[in-house]
A and B are shown apart, each in its own frame.
Chain A
Amino acid sequence: AQTVTQSQPEMSVQEAETVTLSCTYDTSESDYYLFWYKQPPSRQMILVIRQEAYKQQNATENRFSVNFQKAAKSFSLKISDSQLGDAAMYFCAFIGSNYQLIWGAGTKLIIKP
């Protein structure tokens, strides 16, 4: 069975600084996708970034980038130049051959002004 682990229940960062959120996963599959979703207090689950397992190049979306280590089954999210609007719950998620999202427990990100 696939599992996703986020070991940091809460992280805080000073505005404009860089923060890294950790995620590890376990699967025996070789073809899958990984995601980071953001859920602000407004409640909507917003896709931040996705990574296809067959791609060695790390995905980037503006200030958001991932460090994907397939052999280590690690998928961390780096947020550069943190902004107040980045404050949210961040969920790491996996999708494989059953086409259903497997979620991590989430990390609450606090941005200090």
Chain B
Amino acid sequence: DTEVTQTPKHLVMGMTNKKSLKCEQHMGHRAMYWYKQKAKKPPELMFVYSYEKLSINESVPSRFSPECPNSSLLNLHLHALQPEDSALYLCASSPTKVTALGGYTFGSGTRLTVV
């Protein structure tokens, strides 16, 4: 299995809702990443998990809360989002943070709309 699977593919949520994005990989990768991507822009790094521990938090607002319950699963919990948080959220993985030199494997993303 050489895929990163993200669910749901689309999500519409109100500003008072709580929702979660899910990312799963079964490649044995020990580094996982969350990115935010606005239309026609490159992805922006949000969080990096290395061996299930949060390694990097790129000054992301606390309304985004990541969680890595095991080596295959990465969640992004959303609460009290703003309309400007509407974007494509991409998950990626690499064998380890160091061997990310070979490149990342990306999921197909969750298109989030905040109303």
Interface positions of A (Cβ within 8 A of B): 32-33, 35, 37, 42-47, 50, 89, 91, 93, 95, 99-101, 103-106, 108
Identify the closest chain A residue to B3 (Cβ). Answer: A44
| Chain A binding surface, main DSSP class | strand
Q: How far is A17 from B17 in the complex, measured between Cα atoms in Å?
A: 49
Q: Is B90 positioned at the interface, with any CB of A under 8 Å from its CB?
A: yes
Show 9 A/B contacts (Cβ-Cβ < 8 Å), sorted by A: A33-B101, A37-B106, A44-B109, A45-B90, A95-B100, A99-B98, A100-B56, A101-B104, A103-B43
Contacting A at CB under 8 A, from B67-115, are 88, 90, 92, 97-98, 100-109, 111
Question: Could you say which of B41, B90, B92, B109 contacts A105, with CB atoms under 8 Å apart?
Answer: B41
Q: How far is the CB of B48 from chain A (nearest CB, A)?
A: 8
Closest to A100 in B: B45
**Shortest distance from the beta carbon of B87 to any chain A beta carbon, whole Å:** 11
CB distance from A12 to the nearest CB of B (A): 16
Complex Cα–Cα for A44 and B56 (A): 23
A104 CA to B107 CA in the complex, in Å?
A: 20
Q: Is the CB of A44 within 8 A of B103?
A: no
Which of A44, A46, A89 is the most central at the interface, judged by chain B CB atoms within 10 Å of its CB? A44
Given A89-B40, A104-B42, A105-B42; A99-B101 close (CB under 8 Å):
yes
Q: Which residues of B contact A35 (CB under 8 A)?
A: 103
Given contacts A35-B103, A43-B111, A100-B45, 15 further A-B contacts (CB under 8 A): A33-B101, A43-B88, A44-B109, A45-B92, A45-B106, A47-B103, A47-B104, A89-B40, A91-B42, A93-B42, A95-B103, A100-B48, A101-B45, A101-B100, A105-B42
